[in-house]
Amino acid sequence: MPAIVLDGKAQAAQSEEELKERVAQMKAKSGGKTPILATLLVGADPSSATYVRMKGNACRRIDMDSLAIELPEETTTEQLLSKIEELNANPDVHGILLQHPVPEQIDERACFDAISLAKDVDGVTCLGFGRMAMGEEAYGCATPKGIMRILEHYKIEIKGKHAVVVGRSPILGKPMAMMLLNEHATVTICHSRTQNLSDLVKQADIIVGAVGIPEFIKADWIKEGAVVIDAGYHTGGVGDIELSGVIDKASAYTPVPGGVGPMTINTLIWQTVESGEKALG
């Protein structure tokens, strides 16, 4: 039986149609107000600028407003914190995205954690992570939450399965593991320094590549029938998993590109709409 393609691009497009309707309903009820996502870009990193632009485009596609704030490379931690506090206090802003990475002189963690929990639609605060891990209400980190939405949409069984997450970053690997655990998977967290990594990956019913190294996870490590989630994207259009050798033996897989990426952006917008609905009643 051929593997199911977990088409994040198609799912995101479908979700945008639903979000567009929700935004229209909000406009009608609030006298024309829409949710607003504020994006903060510090410096002139071209990749970061591209990502911010893509998020702004996604807002426009559902007729939602966005506020793009660009700060110079030499911005200090204190200046960035001041801008975040200004956005926290602005009742017209419903979501705040601080684009990672920031210039090295800035304390990124302090700035992430300054974002109000109610506006942390990218799921980057320690408070939000802790609440999510404990099963309390919070917005999930956009990429792992997007992956969970893909698994739900395609009715992939999680309960009781052995999930192996390769990667431990605070905004992908760690929250991914907690989200899977909350859905009753048995979770193993690995990383680039894990010994006998191939043996652990071979046990996975669900494998999530989130290590940030091109094709680090080899096709022959993955068992027949596994669900393969590739959260990486690198030059040349490859992910963290050697997908070419996986397609014929996986039960389902996310393509690269067109899998996890579109659902990451969609989840950010989806959570901003949720925040707007709460604020605008």
User: What tens digit of pLDDT does each residue of 156-198 get?
Assistant: 999 999 999 999 999 999 999 999 999 999 999 999 999 999 9
**Considering the entire predicted model, what is its pTM?**
0.96
272 or 1, which is more confident?
272
Q: How many structural domains is the chain composed of?
A: 2
In a domain, 182, yes or no: yes
200 & 256 share domain: yes
Residues acting as catalytic residues: 55, 99, 122
Q: Is the pLDDT of residue 281 over 90?
A: no
**Alpha-carbon 271 to chain mean position:** 11
At 133, is the pLDDT very low, low, confident or very high (cuts 50, 70, 90)? Answer: very high
Q: Is the pLDDT of residue 76 over 90?
A: yes
Report how far residue 74's alpha carbon sits from residue 11's, in angstroms, rounded to the nearest whole number: 39
Q: Which of 37, 102, 92 is nearest to 272 (CA)?
A: 37
Q: Which long-range contacts (CB under 8 A, 24 or more apart) does 195-198 make?
A: 197/166, 197/221
Q: Is the pLDDT of residue 66 over 90?
A: yes
Report the CATH number that the domain containing residue 50 is assigned in CATH.
3.40.50.10860
151 & 70 share domain: no
At 223, is the pLDDT very low, low, confident or very high (cuts 50, 70, 90)? Answer: very high
Report how far residue 229's alpha carbon sits from residue 150's, in angstroms, rounded to the nearest whole number: 10
Domain that holds residue 198: 142-260
158 & 113 share domain: no
155 & 237 share domain: yes
160 & 243 share domain: yes
Q: Radius of gyration over alpha carbons of the chain, in Å?
A: 19
90 & 194 share domain: no
In a domain, 51, yes or no: yes
**Which residues pair with residue 163 across a beta bridge?**
187, 206
